[in-house]
Amino acid sequence: MPMQDNDSTNRPSIHDTRPVPVRNLAQWVGGAVLLLFGLLFFQILVTNRNMKWPVVADYLFDPKILSGLGMTLLLTVLAMVIGLAIGVILAIMRLSSGRVFQAVSWAWIWFFRGVPPLVQMIFWYNLALLLPELSIGIPFGPKLISWNTNDLITPFSAAIMGLAFTESAYAAEMIRAGIQAVSHGQTEAAATLGMTRGQTLRRIVLPQALRIVIPPIGNDTISMLKFTSLVSVLALPDLLYSAQMIYARTYQTIPLLIVATLWYLVLTTILTLAEHMIEHRLKAAPGQKAKGRWWNLGLFSRQRAEVLP
């Protein structure tokens, strides 16, 4: 009668593995050091009288601060909407068969990815020094309509142009990559059904491409929110400039900067949670519900599967 191998019979299968806590001395030491620095930082925040938390509380919901907060949100939304709209057009031009369209799209992306948005804002704001008048007409012929440049290029429009044009260049590359990620078999199947290239692009390719590029667009939106602070150089009353105007009068520099910082943190946290929720839903197959909870960011997971000998 053959003897059974006790090791093979007693050994649990791979399906019986259970997650076990990760024990790593280096992690414990590193965590203790970081906790120490965190406590020191917290002590500075609480005990340093120069922080002036009562002043922070007084100005946190100041009408001028809230007005600047609204301007920051408006700049973010408009810059992203305009930038994405231009980005879609540029991506389609870049993938078209026309050499002129490809060249124009490439030149736009190359230029606006290379020039910082702050430089663009200052340039657009001073465009009247280069072109005192903007007009539409026949080249080397009569002008049909014209405007005074200073009437069109205000601090607000200069800020939108600088932010939106920069975003359009980056969005174009993201959308182009998303379009190229869609299987060619689907476009071929659409062609066999008699759909034109425009119909295929609108109904099949772009919806799937946008599903792919939504996560990076979410990151761009968060970055755009922070880039809006650059408009303070144009004296546009956004969140940062509103705080600067108050502390220029009251000399409460640090408390007002803390107020602006707190509001930026609140807005970026909201956008981060919204982005995570959208990504969680996009992970699910069409028609199915996403598994797990979208608010579980996985920041404190410390378990892994046990490796059996």
What is the DSSP code (8-state) at residue 287? T
**HSE (side-chain half, CA atoms, 13 Å) at 165:** 22
Polymer length of the chain = 309
Identify whether the C-beta of residue 200 lies closer than 8 Å to the C-beta of residue 87: no
Neighbours of 88 (CB within 10 A): 19
What are 200-239's pLDDT values in tens digits? 877 888 778 877 888 889 899 999 999 999 999 999 999 9
Enter the tokens of residue 4: 């059974």
**Nearest 10 degrees: CA dihedral of 165, 166, 168, 171?**
-170
Q: Look at the domain 73-235 and name its fold.
A: MetI-like fold (1.10.3720)
Q: Which of 20-29, 43-52, 193-202, 249-258 has the highest mean pLDDT?
A: 249-258
For residue 165, which of 128, 239, 114 has the smallest C-alpha distance? 114
Q: Rounded to an integer, what distance in angstroms lies between the CA atom of residue 165 and that of residue 117?
A: 8
What are 171-208's pLDDT values in tens digits? 999 999 888 888 777 777 877 887 887 788 778 887 78
- The amino acid present at 134, given as its one-letter code, is L
**HSE (side-chain half, CA atoms, 13 Å) at 2:** 2
pLDDT-based confidence at residue 99 (cuts at 50, 70, 90): very high
Enter the tokens of residue 56: 């922070």
Instruction: Specify the residue for token string 């969005």.
Output: 171
Q: Rounded to an integer, what distance in angstroms lies between the CA atom of residue 68 and that of residue 237?
A: 6
Q: Rounded to an integer, what distance in angstroms lies between the CA atom of residue 14 and that of residue 20?
A: 14
pTM value is: 0.79
